Structure 1
Amino acid sequence: MRILLVAVGSAGDVHPFVGLGLQLAARGHRVTLLASGYFEKLARQVGFDFVPVFSADEFLALLKNPLAWHRFRGFIECFRGGVLPTIEPTYRAIADRYVPGETVVVASTLGIGARCAQERLGVPLVSVHLSPSVFRSDYQNPVLPGMFLPDWLPGPLKRSQYWLADTLVIEPLLRGPLNEFRRSIGLPPVKGILSQWHNSPQGILGLFPSWFAAPQPDWPAQTVLAGFPLYDERGLNPLEEELLAFLDSGSPPIVFTPGSAMLHGREFFQAAAEACVLLGRRGILLTRFAEQVPRTLPAGVRHFSYAPFSELLPRAAALVHHGGIGTMSQGFAAGLPQLVMPMSFDQPDNAARLRRLGAGASLSRKRFRATTVAAALAELLNSSQVAARCRQLAERLAAERPLETACNLIEGLA
């Protein structure tokens, strides 16, 4: 069977699909990745066919936009600059490769072009949501920027907030360009784009476990939760010799990363380096965009461009990051206490779930300063309760088989 994987977004969106694709390939399927050209090298390294639906230059231009990380405007900037331009290329790529009875499409939340292909061509489609923040409910709701959705709030008041978000932001942003394209391929206009339409009626795959976010009674009936895929490029490149030497030379360091797509993390890294000095701890600053890192780092704090978390984190003391679901899941797998600085998108919700699990804490971007970071880390590192909870979650993750569940759902559509 031919599997077309549509992964619109950054490395945090692409890595889970690569992990899923490798499992599907091991089961005898031919895998093609549709993503930004920025990820072509990765796709080729793991043996996938590749189709760019967004150029590497366009991807980097979006990352350079500081508003892409704004708590409220980030959604608008990313959809306008990184999602809408992919609709037609994604549809065309699927249409060119679809063989009835032999092809299944697996698309991320932002892979809107795949939904159009399903409706126009009859392509079997599984919608994949990497985090629970995209699921709306009258019961337990995610923590979303600009919305007030506590569990005790009556359902009508929750729905009214979503209605306002749809009416004032989401539909005006998406409906025009999407429906213009739909008309060009002979499809009628749609509304309720992110409230209902974007989900495939054939299958929805949540790549997170139920202990992280329990399914709610009003989630779509076709939803299956598989668990965290935990792919991180392990095996493609060995850990740098300098990194191995640093790990061997002293106590376990604290690992800091603001996410693979962050180009505006200078303040984050400055606070991280200063916090390490205040704590008397060693630190590792991770980013492929070195211009964000202070030119002079204190003794015991080093910058490295990349390291697979599954190899690095078992040798770390704690993990400090932006709240991306992929990074957080690797922290769970390593049994580490985590400190999160959520900015936008799913990050505030992930941070809230981390706190509820008792495995970490969070600081707002405004409060992420050396003294507060050091204090929060000291509390986490000195807590026997947090350490025990982190061990429990690591053991739970080790017993799960998320990719088997995911592959079974996908193969069931053939």
Structure 2
Amino acid sequence: MARERALAEDYTRRMTGPITLMTVGSRGDVQPFVALALELLRRGYGVRLAAPAEARPLVEELGVPFFPLEAHYTDLAQSERGQAAIAGHWREVASLLAEVREQTRALLDSAQRAAQGSRALVFHPKALAGRHLAEALGVPAWLMLPAPLLLPTREFAAPATVAEAGPLNPLTYLPLRLAEGPLRSVVGAWRQELGLTDRTYRLDPRYAGGRLLPILHAYSRQLVPVPRDWHWSAGAPVTGFWRLPGSAEPELSAELQRFLEAGPAPVVFGFGSMGPGESPQGLVSLAHSVLRRLEEGVGQAGRKWRGVVLGVPGHLSTEQVFAAPAAPHGRLFARACASVHHGGAGTVAAAVHAGLPSVAVPHGMDQPFWARQLERLDVGRSVPRRQLSAAALAQALSAVMALPTVQRAHTLGTLLELECGVEVAADRIQFALSR
């Protein structure tokens, strides 16, 4: 009788519990999950979004149930040591490891609390607990990938790899699939507390125990065509970007609205959570220098150049450059003429959807990969971080503002508007849960 009761309770949980979405990182890592949550809510599912505490206003403002995760990796990445580690200084990587392990345990514990009673899980690879909780709970789960990070292909190197490796490209995916290795002792101890054995613990993030998890690639095939050697990609579809509906985007501030209406479309400068090492005043000064060089450049005579700098205090604004701590990319990019950014997946998605030509200043991780895609499609240029200067940015902006590049960017944006990435992802989840 007890067994039957337990089975009935398990069935009820599976049918009525929420779909828990888990993500860690900056706004670019959170916002796609908010878009998926809204679509699942629209279809009548219970949803819970677990993300770092600083994401609470974004999530709850749109009516999505929120659960805070103990995750402070973004703070580490923005620190001086973190920036050095991202730049490839291995001594800094080693010194950060102990702190990362401590934070990882806090993340795992809070993720466990977030997943209680879940019907299904959808998780970002940075949310390390996702696949282990799927194994412990025995529920359906999907791994969301913002870039083609895990499935080997001969056509391009892994996005976290700086250079192409030709016939050795498939080998570049191995480090990413083993990236959890330095944290294995922490994760292994936590797994034992969940009642899971290390015997079934594979480092490959595609696995939950012996189960190969389906993948949802949350980017557009217009930017990254499906590799021809992904013969079994039906289990890992490229859905299109997961974007918030336009009505869900916050309004621009009244001050920014007035600035935009007072002159020609500006260049938007914003480096997200990966600032280029400049002070806020330094970023505004950099924007001024770039705009001045554009005004002095050949063929630019008579054009008035203006800028918006994101991620800096508003009191730094001038007549030519508007400074703002943040602004909704969807609404702002629709009013801009070009974007200078760090090449993060979320910002790239917003820029190409708006039909904007871009200049990327990649810092690390998958950002060089997205910068290469913009250059491959000839809708953007890339400036290496170590070569960042007003002269280099002005030269790159001048190139992307040429009419053929502007037209290609506009055409790409039109094609992307035909995609419904978040609906495709929700269809996959709904079909699996209805079986």
TM-score interval (norm. to shorter): 0.7 to 0.9
Other structure's SS at 2:387 match:
coil
CA distance in 2, matches of 1:75, 1:204: 29
Deviation at 1:348, TM superposition (A): 0.8
- Residues 78-87 or 308-317, more deviating: 78-87
Deviation at 1:11, TM superposition (A): 0.8
RMSD of aligned alpha carbons: 2.9
Q: Is the 8 A contact 1:91 1:116 kept in 2?
A: no
Q: Does 1:228 align with 2:241?
A: yes
Q: Does 1:316 align with 2:336?
A: yes
CA distance in 2, matches of 1:125, 1:164: 23
Q: Does 1:180 align with 2:193?
A: no
Q: Which residue of 1 aligns with 2:381?
A: 361
CA distance in 2, matches of 1:250, 1:165: 46
Deviation at 1:363, TM superposition (A): 0.5
Counterpart AA for 2:207: W
* Structure 1: gaps spanning 5 or more residues: none
Q: Does 1:249 align with 2:270?
A: no
CA distance in 2, matches of 1:196, 1:377: 39
Q: Is the 8 A contact 2:379 2:405 kept in 1?
A: yes
Q: Which residue of 2 aligns with 1:210?
A: 221
Listed one character per residue, the Cα deviations across residues 248-290 of structure 1 (whole Å, up to 9, x for unaligned) are 1111110000014649443554422310122131000011x53
- Residues 115-124 or 196-205, more deviating: 196-205
Counterpart AA for 1:197: Y
- Residues 307-316 or 254-263, more deviating: 254-263
TM-score (norm 1): 0.86
Counterpart AA for 1:258: F
Work out which structure has the larger RCO, using CA pairs closer than 8 Å and 6 or more positions apart in sequence. Answer: 1
Q: Does 1:140 align with 2:156?
A: yes
CA distance in 2, matches of 1:338, 1:305: 21
Other structure's SS at 2:385 match:
coil
User: Which of 77, 80, 86 in structure 1 is aligned with 2:107?
Assistant: 86
Counterpart AA for 1:37: A
Q: Is the 8 A contact 2:147 2:159 kept in 1?
A: no
Listed one character per residue, the Cα deviations across residues 36-69 of structure 1 (whole Å, up to 9, x for unaligned) are 11112222211122211216xx466435422333
Aligned 1:23-38 pairs, distance under 5 A: 23-38=39-54
Counterpart AA for 1:315: R
CA distance in 2, matches of 1:301, 1:63: 27
User: Between the two proteins, what is the percent identity of the paired residues?
Assistant: 26
Q: Does 1:274 align with 2:284?
A: no
User: Which of 392, 396, 402 in structure 1 is aligned with 2:411?
Assistant: 392
Other structure's SS at 1:174 match:
helix
User: Which of 195, 201, 204 in structure 1 is aligned with 2:212?
Assistant: 201
Q: From the superposition, tell whether residues 348 and 4 of structure 1 become closer, same or farther in structure 2 (CA, over 3 Å).
A: same
TM-score (norm 2): 0.82
Aligned 1:33-182 pairs, distance under 5 A: 33-54=49-70, 58=72, 61-69=75-83, 70-72=86-88, 80=101, 83=104, 85-94=106-115, 96-98=116-118, 103-145=119-161, 148-150=163-165, 152-154=166-168, 158-159=170-171, 170=179, 172-182=181-191
Q: Is the 8 A contact 1:136 1:195 kept in 2?
A: no
Counterpart AA for 2:414: E
Q: Is the 8 A contact 2:21 2:48 kept in 1?
A: yes
CA distance in 1, matches of 2:394, 2:112: 48
Other structure's SS at 1:307 match:
coil
CA distance in 1, matches of 2:197, 2:31: 34
Q: From the superposition, tell whether residues 63 and 154 of structure 1 become closer, same or farther in structure 2 (CA, over 3 Å).
A: closer
Q: Is the 8 A contact 1:274 1:370 kept in 2?
A: yes
Q: From the superposition, tell whether residues 219 and 330 of structure 1 become closer, same or farther in structure 2 (CA, over 3 Å).
A: farther
Deviation at 1:81, TM superposition (A): 6.8
* Structure 2: gaps spanning 5 or more residues: 1-15, 296-304
Q: From the superposition, tell whether residues 60 and 361 of structure 1 become closer, same or farther in structure 2 (CA, over 3 Å).
A: closer
Q: Does 1:413 align with 2:425?
A: no
Larger radius of gyration: 2
- Residues 349-358 or 197-206, more deviating: 197-206
Q: Which residue of 2 aligns with 1:306?
A: 326
Q: From the superposition, tell whether residues 42 and 297 of structure 1 become closer, same or farther in structure 2 (CA, over 3 Å).
A: closer
Q: Is the 8 A contact 1:33 1:48 kept in 2?
A: yes
CA distance in 2, matches of 1:263, 1:123: 41
Q: From the superposition, tell whether residues 171 and 203 of structure 1 become closer, same or farther in structure 2 (CA, over 3 Å).
A: closer
- Residues 259-268 or 105-114, more deviating: 259-268
Listed one character per residue, the Cα deviations across residues 211-238 of structure 1 (whole Å, up to 9, x for unaligned) are 2222332476420111012338864642
Q: Is the 8 A contact 1:143 1:349 kept in 2?
A: yes
Q: Is the 8 A contact 2:206 2:212 kept in 1?
A: no
Other structure's SS at 2:212 match:
coil
Other structure's SS at 2:381 match:
strand
Q: Is the 8 A contact 1:338 1:360 kept in 2?
A: yes
Q: From the superposition, tell whether residues 403 and 106 of structure 1 become closer, same or farther in structure 2 (CA, over 3 Å).
A: same
Listed one character per residue, the Cα deviations across residues 66-92 of structure 1 (whole Å, up to 9, x for unaligned) are 233323369875964765531232123
Deviation at 1:142, TM superposition (A): 3.0
User: Which of 377, 385, 398 in structure 2 is aligned with 1:378?
Assistant: 398
Number of aligned residue pairs:
395
Counterpart AA for 2:410: R
Deviation at 1:12, TM superposition (A): 0.8
CA distance in 1, matches of 2:81, 2:29: 19
